[in-house]
Amino acid sequence: MAENVAAAKRVAESRVVLSMMMNPEHANALGNVHGGVITKLADEAGGLAAMRHARMPVVTVAIDSMTFEEPIYVGNMVTLTAELTYTGRTSMEVRVSVMAEDPLTGYTVHTNLAYLVFVAIDAQGHPHPVPPLLIESPEERLRYARAKERQDERKKRHKYEQSSRQRGVQGEA
- pLDDT tens profile 32-55: 999 999 999 999 999 999 999 999
Q: Which residues of the chain have pLDDT under 50?
A: 1-6
In this predicted structure, what is the pLDDT of residue 89?
95
Query: How many Å is the maximal CA-CA distance in the chain?
Result: 58
Query: What pLDDT does residue 171 have?
Result: 52
User: Distances from the Cα of 26 to the Cαs of 97, 139, 155, in angstroms?
Assistant: 19, 34, 35
pLDDT tens for 126-144 read 999 999 999 999 999 999 9
Q: How many CA atoms lie within 13 A of 42 on its CB side?
A: 27
Give the span between the Cα atoms of 109 and 77, in whole angstroms.
11
Pairing verdict, β 91-101 and 77-87: antiparallel
